[in-house]
Structure 1
Amino acid sequence: MNLYPVGKTLCKLFFSLFTRVTVIGKDNIPADGPVLLCSNHISNLDPPLVGTFIKRKIRFMAKQELFSKKIVGPLLSSLGAFPVKRGVGDRQSLRKGLHLLEKGEVLCLFPEGTRSKTGEIGEGLSGSGFFAIRSKAAVVPVVIFGPYKPFGKITITYGEPMNFQELRDEKVNAAEATKKIMGEIQALKEKHIEEIKNED
């Protein structure tokens, strides 16, 4: 059963009622074709926030442990998420992600692999670079500014798609590609942070 439309509606209602969300650059997401969204990670609410205010359906990787829970596991599957084993090279999840991109879908990753406790952007794991190099997806950096708190302000910014073709032609490795992605996420954060502070 596909619960994605229902979940998206409920998330939009939640964010509209309990937070003040500003969305910047959603038109930077191509209307069709494969897209790889790469976002910083500050909260468990990041995945629904990334997908709530854009038109296209997004597929997410989620840590395998969540799928073993009686209610959470089936719910995540019905929302289009799929499991990944953290800390190891999970070939099955990598193949699944590539298959989704080959089908022209949108895949969202949080390259840091875990939430940042300070809000600072950390180093990325190589998975995002792997997908960026091995697919033909448009790679879109995403930055979320919090913190999440009742009626607090949250800003999500979708950057312009990165030009990865040169890196693909040069056959750079996944680690180098990930470093490039994280640099773009950091640059996007620095570009908008002063503007967001001034709005407050």
Structure 2
Amino acid sequence: MDFYSFAKGVVKGILKPLYRVEVIGIEQFPKEGGVLLCANHISNLDPPIVGITAPRPIHFMAKEELFHVPVLKNLISSLHAFPVKRGMSDRQALRVGLDVLKQGHVLGIFPEGTRSKDGKLQKGLSGVGFFALRTNAAVVPCAIIGPYRPFKKLKVVYGAPIHMEPLRAKKASPEEATDYIMDHIQALLDQYQ
């Protein structure tokens, strides 16, 4: 058993009962091939919650500051995370993300770039649209719904993969693609909240 599987088992044993996590739509998650997993961001616990509910290992983009803490750097690196500089175009992070998708792995992204203060979906950053348009990866919207309060139900909803072909065909901008993806996340929030 690799470290990712071990850590997933441990974290799942703690968080799933604590937050009474309910997973919806997991059967729609592609079993193979590159997947761009896009979720709303309401808590620091979102990455582990998505990590324990998704059926495949996820490579998360994580803010660069986390990689400056020695113990944390080793831990999150061994969980397939890689650094991204916030507030600027980070070409290295974009290259790594493209490689993850082209190799047929799952790239996990929180398009808002930072946690929402009020729980409402914020505008997404264009990097998400860039990944969606530049690869043939399946784009899966994900909605995390609930209060992160012990023993109150938390829902993780996986939507059906979004068809990006129409946007590629009309040469949509990364911003347009991002807005399209965010609309799908919002639809899940509206449906399951």
In the superposition, the TM-score normalised over structure 2's length comes to 0.97
Contact persistence 2:40–2:142 (CA under 8 A) = yes
Match of 1:150 in 2: 150
Per the TM alignment, residue 179 of structure 1 is displaced from its structure 2 partner at its CA by: 0.6
- Distance, in Å, in 1 between the alignment partners of 2:40 and 2:17 is 24
Is 1:30 paired with 2:15? Answer: no
- Distance, in Å, in 2 between the alignment partners of 1:30 and 1:93 is 24
The 10-residue stretch of structure 1 (49-58 or 88-97) with the greater mean CA deviation from structure 2: 49-58
- Distance, in Å, in 2 between the alignment partners of 1:53 and 1:102 is 23
Matches within 5 A, 1:99-114: 99-114=99-114
- Distance, in Å, in 2 between the alignment partners of 1:98 and 1:10 is 30
Contact persistence 2:29–2:55 (CA under 8 A) = no
- Distance, in Å, in 1 between the alignment partners of 2:176 and 2:166 is 13
Is 1:182 paired with 2:182? Answer: yes
Aligned-residue Cα RMSD (Å) equals: 1.2
Match of 2:139 in 1: 139
Is 1:70 paired with 2:70? Answer: yes
Contact persistence 2:26–2:55 (CA under 8 A) = no
Q: Which amino acid aligns with 1:153?
A: K
Match of 2:86 in 1: 86
- Distance, in Å, in 1 between the alignment partners of 2:17 and 2:180 is 36
Gaps of 5+ in 1: 194-200
Aligned residues: 193
Per the TM alignment, residue 55 of structure 1 is displaced from its structure 2 partner at its CA by: 2.3
Q: Secondary structure of 1:143's partner?
A: strand
Per the TM alignment, residue 16 of structure 1 is displaced from its structure 2 partner at its CA by: 2.9
Residue identity over aligned pairs, in percent, reads 53
Match of 2:171 in 1: 171
- Distance, in Å, in 2 between the alignment partners of 1:29 and 1:51 is 13
Contact persistence 2:19–2:154 (CA under 8 A) = yes
- Distance, in Å, in 2 between the alignment partners of 1:144 and 1:54 is 12
- Distance, in Å, in 1 between the alignment partners of 2:177 and 2:60 is 20
Q: Secondary structure of 2:70's partner?
A: coil
Contact persistence 2:61–2:108 (CA under 8 A) = yes
Match of 2:125 in 1: 125
Q: Which amino acid aligns with 1:88?
A: M
- Distance, in Å, in 2 between the alignment partners of 1:108 and 1:55 is 13
List structure 1 runs of 4+ shifted beyond 3 angstroms: none
- Distance, in Å, in 1 between the alignment partners of 2:127 and 2:176 is 11
- Distance, in Å, in 2 between the alignment partners of 1:81 and 1:119 is 24
- Distance, in Å, in 2 between the alignment partners of 1:93 and 1:85 is 8
Q: Secondary structure of 2:116's partner?
A: coil
